[in-house]
Amino acid sequence: MAHSVIDVIRAKRDGARLTPEQIDWVVDAYTRGAVADEQMSALAMAILLRGMEPAETARWTAAMVASGTTLDLGEVGAPTVDKHSTGGVGDKITLPLTPLVAACGAAVPQLSGRGLGHTGGTLDKLESIPGWRASLSADEIRQQLADAGAVICAATEGLAPADRKLYALRDVTGTVESVPLIASSIMSKKIAEGVSSLVLDVKCGSGAFMKDLGQARELAAALVGIGTANGLNTSALITDMSVPLGRAVGNALEVAEAVEVLSGGGPADVVELTVELAREMLSQAGLSDVDPAEVLSSGRAHDTWRRMIKAQGGDPGAVLPRAEHVEVVTAPESGVLTSLDAYAVGVAAWRLGAGRSRKEDDVQHGAGIVCRAKPGEEVAQGSPLLELHTDTPEAFEAAREALQGAFTIAGEGAGAGREELAGGRGLILETVR
């Protein structure tokens, strides 16, 4: 049966459910160039406005996977499991988590991306390590998984090309916010990766794409539903992103903090989320009898990290880049820091050079922010709250602007922990399976 893109657009515009045949045809035709950008733009807008049923979204995802190759991990020799975060501020969890889960006996192929705007990118962080390279072939990925059990790298060129093309189009046509399109974009790449299990970290709060719990639940349910429908063992944790994770925000700063965690230290919230995500990943991989907290404290995960970095040409013992200029934001009064807005801190770090406005932009490896105080901690008037790091001192003014109203201080004796300050919520808000 011959298909018409106009018929597909009209069907979704009018609220109809697209048939599996229509979905397969339009995704394939767009990938081949037989459907024009303006036509796919119209369909994307119709999907944003009319939505998709779960079966439609699952089929759309499968069609995007079928647009390219898949990574065959069948001979790796260990259960394969991956984690994906929807993005946040100070979210360096992938860095300690990947070697930790590998040290527990799983194989972890973590195909990651770069940052854009106020959320950081894992590849940008790791490229602050001298010599480390992000691009690996499929054979190199398989070999490193066999040797070290863990790899963090860029997606290979042939995985889900339909997604790359559609993602760029959505970015310039006001259709980024569509939950079916967000979910299918994330899951098409993860299914093409060839892993057996996947755990999703769906961020919720000011520094996340999903600002409230209802939005986060909708996305988490869509992601888990797509994975299940496509034969991928999938679960999701909805986690708080109202406050930056850890104290470091920025590429080399976050790498240093991740290494602290792997060395048995680091901020409590980073350790907590790393261990909880590891537990969920190990459960999905059939390794729930292993205690990731014990493995982390033993140093075995740090050993795996060093092997993983060396395998990709990096020097795990090298001195990391430092920014040339540092400015300190001090507390205007004494009391307890009761809020620190993740979005504002992320934007400030981006303006200091830690992020990019366009995919083509370079980042400053040493730029970013160190949170010298976090919500629930007491501060004295004039004491450091935030350290701003950059190679371009003219950026300080824009960063200070972004931080206007970013924090509040209550009178002395008003101490509260992060859970209390979040209205009784802990770092992990819900689990979706």
Q: For 232-284, what is each residue's pLDDT tens digit?
A: 999 999 999 999 999 999 999 999 999 999 999 999 999 999 999 999 999 99
Q: What is the pLDDT at residue 412?
A: 60
Question: Mapping DSSP to helix (H, G, I), strand (E, B) and coil, where does residue 12 land?
Answer: helix
Label residue 419 by pLDDT band (50, 70, 90): very low
Q: What is the DSSP letter of 70?
A: -
Label residue 413 by pLDDT band (50, 70, 90): low
Q: For 342-376, what is each residue's pLDDT tens digit?
A: 999 999 999 999 987 766 778 999 999 999 999 99
From 83, 114, 165, 170, active-site residue: 170
Q: What is the pLDDT at residue 241?
A: 96
| Element of type H or E holding 11 | helix 5-13
pLDDT at 140 over 70: yes
| Residue 163: active-site member | yes
pLDDT at 422 over 70: no
C-alpha count within 13 angstroms, C-beta hemisphere, residue 221: 9
| Residue 170: active-site member | yes
pLDDT at 424 over 70: no
To which residue do tokens 């599996």 refer? 20
From 118, 189, 217, 351, active-site residue: 189
Q: For 302-333, what is each residue's pLDDT tens digit?
A: 999 999 999 999 999 999 999 999 999 999 99
Measure Cα distances from 151 to 196, 240, 314, 381, 425 in Å: 16, 26, 13, 45, 33
Which domains does the chain possess? 5-51 (1.20.970.10), 81-318 (3.40.1030.10), 325-420 (3.90.1170.30)
Going through 262-410 in order, the beta strands assigned E by DSSP cover 325-330, 335-340, 368-371, 378-379, 384-390, 407-410
| Element of type H or E holding 235 | strand 233-240
| Residue 189: active-site member | yes
First to last CA, the chain: 38
From 59, 84, 190, 365, active-site residue: 84
How far is Cα 196 from Cα 221, in angstroms, rounded to an integer?
Answer: 19
From 112, 178, 184, 185, active-site residue: 185
| Residue 164: active-site member | no
How much is the average pLDDT of 377-398?
97
